Structure formats: structure tokens, C-alpha cells
Amino acid sequence: MATVTRSARLAAVLLAALASGATAAPTKITLGVTTASEFAPCFIAKERGFFEKRGLDVEIQIITLNSNIPTALQADSIQIGGPTASTLLQAVDGGLDLVVVAGGAFGSKTNENYGLVERAGAGIKEPKDLIGKKVGVSGLNTFNHVLFRKWLLDKGVDYTTVTFVEVPFPQMNDVLKAGTVDAVVPVDPFMTRIVKSGAGAVVWFIAKDLPEGLPAFVYSAKRQWAEANGGAARGFREAIAEGVAFAEKDLEGARADLGKYIQLPPPVLATIRFVHMSATVTGQQMQLWVDIMREQKMLRSTPNVEKLIVQ
């Protein structure tokens, strides 16, 4: 009899909670990203309530070097991060059990949002002029580093003859002015800012010589977290998709949301162009990276790209 009474009381409590409109507590997520315009959809999703309406309490944490994101994921200081695809694959190859929960930005041969920018007087006219030069990239083995090395190989230049150093995007303008490096490989909005400041000039937009559809970065998480929070992972992907759709229909609104997280002068912010973005990434797209990285002997094994992507 007592058991029946306790069951009845529990049922009554549950019914009362439903009647009062009580809902489960939101899933807290710390999201780690860098200050690149390609992350606009997550900033939009935060500012426009797209995360919140899916029961996600997302706090965005800016991480200076993209290559530090896998370590932050492993340490649980963030639950989702935006490493470049090459950074993710190398982390997985090194033993971290990370997965892709959503896509981000994708490369296109028409992209002019990243390239090689030389400092004044560097004298870079042909690819071979980079031999012996020092080039700044946002992180060793990240998107712009690996793709620029591929570009050099395709142009007949041994990339080991070029010295690469890590320079966070926001600091590239300053190191060019100081003459610390001969060139940098920035993305927008930083590339535009460098050019407008007079610290450097674009030598080549390299995307036209690279494979179509390369994921620039992927929103990733520990597999354990993604499996334990499947609904939250799907909700996150849906919110990113809604952020992408918003950016496509309201450019000014998207720029305004981006500007809250990336401090830029209004004239520079007004020039930002968003590249192709999608919340969906395929195994075939990730395989493009595997092939590039194996060419550069960056992977010890061949990852199963289909198992890296959670649905």
C-alpha cells in the first residue's frame, strides 16, 4: 500500500510540473573558437537565441591559437571547439577520441578571404622567392599552414625551405609592421585590416589552386560527451544551421553579431564577406584533408572519416 501511495505522489508531482510548464535545465556548453569571421554562425546563434531555444546554455570562449583547441577539449575546459580540420585529424591520429558534431566554413576556388600577404619590401614575386623566408601562420599544422604547404608543393617549392612561425591572427598586422616575418597567411577580417593599414599587400589568393569543398574547421567534441549528450549535439548543429541561414539573408545583422566578438573598426567590419558555410560535413570532405596530410607525412595512420562524424 505504501508503495502505491509513493507512486501516486510521484505521479502527482510530475503532473504538477508539467502543468506548471517546468522544463529540464538547459545543457551548459562552453564553446571554444578563434576570432575568424568563419565562426559567425555560432556568434549569431548565441546573439539571436538559436542555442537557447534548443535548451542550450552556450558560453563562447575565445582561444587565441587554434592548435590549442583539442587540448582544451581533452581537459574538459570546453565541451565543443572549432579546430581546423587538419588540427582535429592530427589530434585523433595522436590518440584523442574526438568527433565532429557540426560543419562550419568550406573552401571554394573563388574564395578571396585568405591568402599570402607580404610585408612591404619582402620581394615575393614568385613562389620560389619564399625560399629562406619566414612566414607567420595562425598555428602550426592548422588550416592555413597545411594548405599553404600544399600550395607550395604544387608550385614546385619544398616547404621545408620556408620557416613557419605561429602568429595569432590579431597579431599578424603588428609582426608585419615590425618586420618580424616576411609574410603571413591570414584570413578575413584580419587580411583586409592588414591591407588597409598598409602593413602588407596580398600576393596570392591561394584557394583557386586548392581542392573544392575543403572544410576550413569543424565543430568538435570528445566522443564520450557527444554520445552522452546526443540531443544537445543535434541541437547545436541545428542552431549553427540556423545561424548560417541568418547570415545568408541578413548580412548587416550577421556583421553586427560578429563585431560583438571580434573587435574591429566599423570600416573594416563593413567589408567582411562570408564564405560558403554549412552545418553539415561529409566523410568525403574530410577525406580530402586526409589525402593532403598524408602527402605531407602528417598522419601515422589512415583514420576512418565516417566514424569521426556524429549524426
- Residue-wise pLDDT tens digits, 69-88: 999 999 999 999 999 999 99
Q: 75-110: b or e for each residue (b if 16 or more CB lie within 10 Å)?
A: eeebbbbbbbbbbbbbbbbeebebbbbbbbbbbbee
Q: Cα(250)–Cα(264) distance, rounded to whole angstroms?
A: 19
Q: Provide the greatest CA pair distance for the chain.
A: 90
C-alpha span between 303 and 102 (Å, rounded): 18
pLDDT for 3: 44
Tell whether the model's pLDDT for residue 2 goes beyond 90.
no
Between CA 114 and CA 177 the distance in angstroms is: 19
Q: What is the pLDDT of residue 143?
A: 84
Evaluate whether residue 10 is within a structural domain.
no
> Does 8 reside within a domain?
no
Helix 143-154 × helix 85-93 angle, to 10°: 100
Last-in-domain residue among 183, 209, 235: 209
Each residue's pLDDT tens digit, 255-298: 999 999 987 788 878 888 888 899 999 999 999 999 999 999 99
pLDDT at 200: 96
Q: Summarize pLDDT for 3-57 with one digit per residue, the tens.
A: 445 455 445 544 544 444 445 799 999 999 998 888 999 999 999 999 999 999 9
pLDDT score at 8: 53
**What's the domain count of the chain?**
2
**Residue 9: inside a domain, yes or no?**
no
Domain CATH number, residue 149: 3.40.190.10
Domain boundary among 175, 209, 243: 209
Which of 209, 243, 268 marks a domain boundary? 209
Cβ(240)–Cβ(40) under 8 Å?
Answer: no
Residues 203 and 219 in one domain: no
How far is residue 138's CA from residue 144's CA, in Å, rounded to a whole number?
A: 7
Average pLDDT estimate for 136-157: 93
Report whether pLDDT(103) > 90: yes
176 and 297 part of one domain = no
Decide which of 2 and 168 is more confident. Answer: 168
Cis peptide leading into residue 170 (ω within 30°) = no
209 residue type, one letter: D
Expressed as residue numbers, the domain containing 297 is 25-106+214-308
2 inside domain: no
